[in-house]
Amino acid sequence: MQRNSIGYIFNLIFFIINGILSNITQAETLEQAWNQAFNANHSIRAANAQTQAADQELYAAEGQNLPSINIDSSYTQLSVDPAAKAQFAGGQNAQFPTAQSGYFKSQALISIPVYSSDQINSNIRAAQANLNANYQNELTIRLTLKKQIADIFLTVLRTEGHVIVAKKHIDSLKNHYQEVQHLFEQGVVARNDLLAAGVEQANAEQQLLQFSTHLEIAKANYNQLLNRPLNTKVELQLPPQILPKGGLNELNHKALETRPELTVLTQQLQALTEQARSLQASLLPQISLNGGYKFEENRYQAYQGMWLVNLALQWKLFDGSTQHKAESLLQQANALNEQRENLISLIHFEIRQAWLTIQETQRRLKVTRQAIVQANENLQVAKDRYHQGLATNTEVLKAEDLHITSHDNHNTAVYDAIAAILQMRYTIGIL
């Protein structure tokens, strides 16, 4: 019998530990949430497709430096044989055919750019900058999505904390209500104390209902961002608090290097500048080397096939629109540069704001921990004094309010501290 009892206890302990470990492994991390969202997000897929398109545009621009080969073939049928007239000495006229009425012709030509006044290289640099901009834009979308998920991730955890605190508050109020009811039945306290305790408990239960509803809404929102059924079970793991290293100046410098939105504007500005240079270069001399083989079927011609080579020069001396188009592109580049400067100023502000918020939340954590200790002791003293008839029911209920407020404040400070660190990492561009 004793062995059976010991075995039962061991089985029970194993079951409890297994359940705890199961819950731990089921808890979803923020990193896992990001990976799920990336696999299902349509904006990221669209941005990736744009990057692939820009990559092909770069290949096309680089291909302008390669030789181009053209093969043309055709067959022509005329109504009569083409002929030429001639007049000889003595006034005699003669006519003789120069080609046959039906003939086939074909040519294979190769063209190699020799000098383009930097037009081709400008096109390549513009395409490379455009590819970089698209890639950084893809990173921007990922970073923004990570921030959205992190926010709702913390909202779920924060609301769960409020629910836990609210439940503990109700349990405490229930114990107090039972104590008041016992004293009332003994005739020690007035009915008014019993009614006040009941009202306070009802208010706490109402607040718990509100928090529970907010929690379900937050979980549904979280599932929606991850593109999965809204009623999917949500169990989340508290994200680590990894504070970026370095002082304020170092963080500002790092943000200017890693923030993808800033790089997008920089690359777009470069692309527009290079496109303008390409247009301006099109007005300068363009030299190409052409060669190939040409065949034209003609039995009246001595050589039906022949090789050819030529060096071509093209110089557009005047074009009423090209220069204006180039100037338009340069003005667009200037506009992007102004946006870039404004974004730099905004990033500096966001870094400073996140830095100050982190300092504030860290101090709040210390203060709220102390407040919880004091509130717990205050509540216990108030209950003891009330039980001894040395304090009123109002003092106990006020102590209960201070107790719940201190716990709520600490819960808020915990998640505000995590949110501040995530905001800093997002602002730097390393979330």
Q: 109-149: per-residue pLDDT in tens?
A: 999 999 998 999 999 999 999 999 999 999 999 999 999 99
| 3 located within any domain | no
Same domain, yes or no, for 157 and 233? yes
Determine the pLDDT at residue 316.
Answer: 87
Domain boundary among 302, 318, 334: 318
Q: In whole angstroms, give the CA distance from residue 403 to residue 193.
A: 19
Q: 28-50: per-residue pLDDT in tens?
A: 999 999 998 888 788 888 999 99
| 342 located within any domain | yes
With 0-12 CB in 10 A as exposed, 13-18 as middle and 19+ as buried, what is 371?
Answer: buried
Q: Which residue ranges in the chain fall short of pLDDT 50?
A: 1-17, 19-25
> Which tokens in the block code for residue 297?
């079927």
Same domain, yes or no, for 296 and 329? no
Same domain, yes or no, for 109 and 129? no
Domain boundary among 296, 318, 340: 318
Determine the pLDDT at residue 303.
Answer: 87
The domain that contains 235 carries what CATH number?
A: 1.20.1600.10
Determine the pLDDT at residue 43.
Answer: 87
Its sign, for the CA torsion 214, 218, 224, 230, is negative
> Which tokens in the block code for residue 370?
């102390």
Torsion of CA 238, 239, 245, 247, to 10 degrees: -70
- Domain count for the chain: 2
Determine the pLDDT at residue 412.
Answer: 92
| 390 located within any domain | yes
Same domain, yes or no, for 306 and 414? no
Same domain, yes or no, for 51 and 164? yes
Q: In whole angstroms, give the CA distance from residue 365 to residue 388.
A: 35
Among 155, 161, 160, 165, CA closest to 401: 165
Same domain, yes or no, for 300 and 362? no
Same domain, yes or no, for 137 and 220? yes
Residue 301: phi and psi, rounded to 5, are -105, 140
Same domain, yes or no, for 296 and 278? no
| 164 located within any domain | yes
244, 428 in Cβ contact below 8 A? yes
Determine the pLDDT at residue 15.
Answer: 45
Determine the pLDDT at residue 357.
Answer: 94
Q: Which structural domain range is residue 393 located in?
A: 28-66+116-283+319-428
Determine if the pTM surpasses 0.85: no
